[in-house]
Amino acid sequence: MTRVTDRIRTPSRVSRPGGRRGRANQQQLLWWSGLLIVPVIWQLYSMVADSTLIVGPIEVAEAAVEMAVDGELLQAAGQSGLVFLTGIAAGTAVGLAIGILVGRFRTMDVMLDPYISALFATPLVAVVPILIVALGFGFGAKVVIVAMFAFFPVAINTAAGVRGIPREFDELARSFCSSELQAWRDILVPGALPYIVTGLRLAVGRSLIAVVVAEFSTAVTGLGFLILRYSRRFDMAESLVPVVLLMLTGFVFYTLLKRVEARLAPWILRTSE
């Protein structure tokens, strides 16, 4: 298993002397205008389009305020958030442990790697209806589904990170009478941390999908259920509120973890120079 990322890395360009600051400002300007273009076009389109089904961001915002005041948005977000956090925590914990075992011990690698790699490429959503039949409609079933989605990228990246740690640190640890668990704490986890964060970032994206799929399939609680209920009534503004909330959540987590990735390992960036 090698590290999985969602994209190849773009190395930071060597900036040419002169005009560096000016270019950075220009980039910022373009970036922010790009961010604004989407809602603006959406709003204009909704005003031109001759359909009550096409609602603009302003209507969605109004609906959001209404639903927030009502308390129903908060309640649904709380339900989804709890499933999301519990599931991702469980999936990450198991993924970390399995990833370290696979990365550290050759036997574990030989035994488990084929299964983990194959299952990672499997469209896991296909299993969701079966899991719901088996585990029911409750909180536990949803957590299991989310954890399953979060597990794979964390496990695969942790294993790749641990495998990349030079064996000589093993000797260092042994010469200082370190126990196996202390070596995990001092060497394996920090050494693999940049990889683990990449895994976590991928896990966040997949877990959000899992939450929504689980809530669509069980249809009793959460943001997914709100989307279903309102879209079935053709209340488009109300049905888009949770969608936008999910978008924001995904984007915020993604951006944050991307920042962490970049800041986490100054020593790696330096040694590659």
Partner 1 sequence: MANVDIKDLSKHFGSLGVFDDINLHVDDNEFVSILGPSGCGKTTLLRIVAGIEDTTAGSVIVAGEESRKPRPDTALVFQNFRLLPWRTVEDNVAYGLRLRGRSKAEARSLAQPYVMMVGLAGREKKYPYQLSGGMQQRVGLARALAVQPDILLMDEPFGALDAQTRELMQDELLRIWSADRKTVMFVTHSIDEAIVLSDRVVVMQSDPGRIVEHIPVPFDRPRDAAAMRADPRFTTLRAEMWALLRQEPLSSDMTHRATGE
Partner 2 sequence: MRFGFAAFVLALWYFIALTLGGLFLAPPHVIVSRLGQSIASGEFMQYLGPTAFILAVGAGLGVAVGVPFGLLIGRIRPLYWVTEAPINIFYTTPLVALIPFLLVIVGFNYQSKIVIVFLFTVLPVVINTASGVRTVDHDLVELSRSFCAKEWTVWRDVIVPGSLPAIMTGLRIGLIHALVGAVLADFYAGASGFGYLIILYSNRFDITGALGPVFVLAAAGAAVAALLKTAQRRLSPWQGEQ
Interface positions with partner 2 (CB under 8 A): 2, 6-11, 13, 26-27, 30-35, 37-38, 53-54, 107, 110-112, 114-115, 117-119, 121-127, 129-135, 205, 208-209, 211-213, 216-217, 223-224, 227-228, 231-232, 234, 236, 239-240, 242-243, 246-247, 250-251, 253-255
Query: Rounded CA gap, 85 and 3, in Å?
Result: 24
**Rounded-to-integer distance, Cα 189 and Cα 183, Å:** 9
At 23, list the tokens: 């270019």
- Read off the DSSP letter of residue 176: T
Q: Does 168 help bind partner 1 (rule: CB under 8 A)?
A: yes
The interface partner of residue 175, options being partner 1, partner 2, none and the CB cut-off 5 to 8 Å by kind, is partner 1
Cβ neighbours of 227 (radius 10 Å): 21
Minimal distance in Å, beta carbon 96 to partner 1?
Answer: 17
> Could you give the C-alpha distances from 191 to 165, 167, 197, in angstroms and in order?
6, 12, 12
Binding mask 241-270 for partner 1 (x = CB under 8 A): ------------------------xxxx-x
- The rounded distance, in Å, linking the Cα atoms of 209 and 125 is 9
Please tell me whether residue 187 binds partner 1 under the rule CB under 8 A. Answer: yes
From partner 1, partner 2, none, interface partner of 144 (C-beta below 5 to 8 A by class)? none
Contact segment (CB under 8 A) with partner 1 among 24-32, 60-68, 176-184, 231-239 equals 176-184
CB 163, min distance to partner 1, A? 16
Instruction: Find how far residue 162's CA is from the centre of its chain.
Output: 21
Q: Which is nearer to partner 1, 61 or 193 (CB)?
A: 193
**Residue 182 makes contact with partner 1 by CB under 8 A:** yes
CB atoms within 10 A of CB 207: 28
SS3 state of residue 1: coil
Q: Which of 195, 197, 210, 66 is nearest to 126 (CA)?
A: 210
The binder of 68, among partner 1, partner 2, none, by C-beta within 5 to 8 A per type, is none
